[in-house]
A and B are shown apart, each in its own frame.
Chain A
């Protein structure tokens, strides 16, 4: 099954990326190559195999619910492209 430019545009939209028509074409071709390659996983029967999401499994890394100092507001806001000293500012939503 060939990966179509429409599929790439759909995925790009999900990922909040804006791609030019040329980028979509290139990406469709490269994604197709990669998906063709990874299809080799279908050679393996994985029925009943538990998926691994973490190599070292740690169950419930809890900590006490204590109040501790957090990052300084001024320092944290300093990286914001637009801020008003209290909040990050974004283009109007409503």
Chain B
């Protein structure tokens, strides 16, 4: 198998034994990018020279035996995470030339682990979207079928991993933006518990929902990445001071004693039959691995989209007020007055979906509407959180589909924002409650598009998620499959 098609843990072993060098691995990944990137369009910014420099430094450390846990592993970074000296666009014209003066904590941790940063990957503008079509420099395509969306908003992360244009990636998840593209591209994607991974240097969309997490080729790699990026950070006041376990130790050979809840509301009317069939097959395999299943109910699931599309835009409208053309980003130079400069810079710099969400959010927070919309949504958020608290008294994890359908065709829903919002119904609740969720591949549709299975758990119970996902992966044995059309 080519080097670019290998996992972190496979490469770690080869690098440690000196069977291959970090420069060789990085060259191979760069060659792969050169070959397929024209079709996939996963990257916004590539820096091959810098990548090779980092690989050389990694080789030196490997020789000395001082390499970190990701020494010499090429990774891609969602373009919403600040990278010192490397352009960070958030998929937006307004930040087209923004070069951050510092690293996000999660990026710094990858660097300290001696990873090789290959480049910055495409995303929906400011992470607002479920298809990556809202990217000002895109869109990236689904490597399994280039006529289909790769999902979003971390679409470039998922596509770059699925197309072997990197070994692993960092994404962010505000309402499903790691899990949904992971599901559509047939890779593993974990949204950790809110507060588990520092958000310092993550360009804010909805601060109470945003969380950074890994997208990887298998579950073991996901655990390896979590070991590196997790932990308390004084620079993020919402970061939780809590010990980080070795997540690899969570991966066991069976699921004896694991109690899985099957939430009735997640097998909703309109669930694609192929999604249902593959998820049910996955659940059967998990039972064979020793897990016990119990049907449970999360009665407020049907309200999560309405809650989310008030709270997330409300927080976004406030967070995005900073793009005013003064300190960084695009400025309309023709404006004579300050107010015109603000208006013109923002109107020319932001795309349609971002403007739409700023309008929704500003409306929901404006005088006279606050109680009816924002406060009401925040109260229903409490009910959704309570549903989870009750359910986790009776089971360890929840198993369900990630998305109601496999990926759809590019441009198919571009004029129908509400129908795209509704497709997030199975992933949003986890963000509202701050709990972790993972997407792990569980099969393919007849058209050959990947389908994922979602596992959710209580706060800080990522180990249960990883263990269940690992057991499914071992029994399905599909994690080595790759698109054959590239």
Contact = CB atoms under 8 A, between A and B. Distances in A.
Interface of A: 7-8, 11-12, 14-19, 23, 27, 30-31, 33-35, 37-38, 40-42, 44, 46, 49-56, 58, 61, 63, 71-72, 75-76, 78-82, 88, 90-93
Nearest to A51: B378
B424 interface: no
Contacts of A75: 101
A30 B101 contact: no
B240 A17 contact: no
Interface string B328-355: 1111010111111111101100100001
Contacts of A49: 379-380, 382-383
Given A46-B379, A55-B208, A58-B237, A14 B366 contact: yes
9 contacts: A15-B359, A16-B342, A37-B418, A38-B306, A40-B302, A44-B383, A46-B379, A76-B101, A80-B327
A58 B338 contact: no
A55 B237 contact: no
Interface in B219-248: 234, 237-238, 240
B101 A78 contact: yes
Nearest to B339: A16
A52 B99 CA distance: 35
Interface of B: 97-99, 101-102, 193-195, 208, 234, 237-238, 240, 300, 302-303, 305-307, 309-310, 317, 321, 324-331, 333, 335-344, 346-347, 350, 355-356, 358-360, 362-363, 366, 373, 375-383, 385, 417-418, 421, 431-435, 459
Given A41-B303, A79-B99, A31 B327 contact: no
Contacts of A33: 418
A28 B379 CA distance: 26
A11 B373 CA distance: 15
Contact of B237 (A16, A61, A93): A61
A80 B329 CA distance: 7
A8 to B, nearest CB: 7
B417 A30 contact: yes
A91 B362 contact: no
A31 B363 contact: yes
A83 to B, nearest CB: 9
A55 B385 CA distance: 8
Contact of B208 (A14, A53, A78): A53
A19 B306 contact: no
Contact of A40 (B303, B335, B344, B433): B303
B12 to A, nearest CB: 32
Contacts of A53: 208, 378
B376 A46 contact: yes
B208 A15 contact: no
Contacts of A35: 363
Nearest to B303: A41
Contact of A34 (B330, B338, B418): B418
A12 B356 CA distance: 10
A17 B303 contact: no
Nearest to A63: B234
A8 B359 contact: yes
Given A55-B194, A76-B101, A30 B356 contact: yes
Contact of B341 (A38, A41, A79, A90): A90
B329 A38 contact: no
Contact of A79 (B193, B328, B343): B328
Contacts of A55: 194, 208, 385, 431-435
B118 to A, nearest CB: 24
B359 A56 contact: no
A76 B378 CA distance: 36
A51 B329 contact: no
B363 A52 contact: no
A55 B434 CA distance: 5
Nearest to A74: B101
Contacts of B195: 56, 58
A88 B383 CA distance: 46
A46 B433 contact: no
A34 B360 contact: yes
Contact of A17 (B326, B327, B358, B383): B358
A55 B208 CA distance: 7
A15 B355 CA distance: 9
Contacts of A11: 359, 362-363, 366
Given A46-B379, A49-B379, A90-B341, A72 B310 contact: no
Contacts of B208: 53-55
